[in-house]
Amino acid sequence: MQTNRRDFLKQAGLLSAGTLTLGSVLTDALGASVKTYGLQLYSVRDVLPTDSKGVMTKLAQMGYKQFESYQGSNGFLWGLEPAAMRSFLNGIGVKMVSTHFDFKAASENADTLQKYIEMANGAGLSYLLCPYIGAQKTWDDWKRVADSFNRVGEVVRNGGLKFGYHNHDYSFRPMDGKLPQEYLLTHCDPINVMFELDMCWIEAAGQSAVDHLKQFGNRYELCHIKDYKKEADGKVVQQDLGQGIVNYQAILKQARKSGMKHFLIEQEQYPISSMVSVKDNADYMKKLKV
């Protein structure tokens, strides 16, 4: 039986679609690892400032392929010129994708914000992130926060980068029956503001990260992965990954479905030491199937 070109292409297309569908089903059933994961460098804040290159080299050897920096005493590039930082990271096979920065200073001074934008661009970063604003007392206060995010975000976007906000637990705790985080998500312009979901803090606030991602996942491009337990008095104590109560198999599976781009480990409390914990966390990520 002869098959014309149109029929052949239709059959091939169906076969390809079927193969892709089968691959997706198998991935959902069997799970797949998160091959590219990074580290928020605040996790090693006790050793990084005195030997930034040495510590980052060790982290690369552990398997971290991405870094997110933070603003320390020597800035978020740790005293290096942007081009020098970019060259060094290329040499160890790591990309610095983002940094937390001094949002308050940048929002109050246009020259400071422009300086941060130029530094981030020069080092090859893609995101500038506000790490913390604190709980607000009124919805007018939250409106002022959203307005400042939109204003700074527009400047950052015009500078060739993306601006975002990293949550803590306070924005996921209800105020007058509503979540401040959802207020920010609906009042910040998606063109100018994206978000980084800290999966520990949303869960610690009593909210479901899976449900939140199902509803708002398209607004999040980065996430923080860290585990915790709660003591009898309700105090949150961070743990190495897999030693706490956060169900990362379910959460990261949903995060992948939602289009999460960057998976960044962060830890601020350690059973032994920061470097032991980040090594254990890297090993956990290599084995985790989501």
CB-neighbour burial class of residue 44 (10 A; exposed 0-12, middle 13-18, buried 19+): buried
Report pLDDT digits (tens) over 181-205: 999 999 999 999 999 999 999 999 9
pLDDT at 102: 97
- Token pair, residue 188, equals 């910040």
- pLDDT-based confidence at 30, cuts 50/70/90? very low
pLDDT of residue 103 exceeding 90, the answer is: yes
Q: What is the pLDDT of residue 32?
A: 78
**Angle in degrees, CA 203, 208, 210, rounded to 5:** 115
Distance CA 76, CA 99 (A): 7
**What was the pLDDT predicted at 26?**
43
**pLDDT tens, position by position, 32-54:** 778 899 999 999 999 999 999 99
Both tokens of 147, joined, read 């307005």
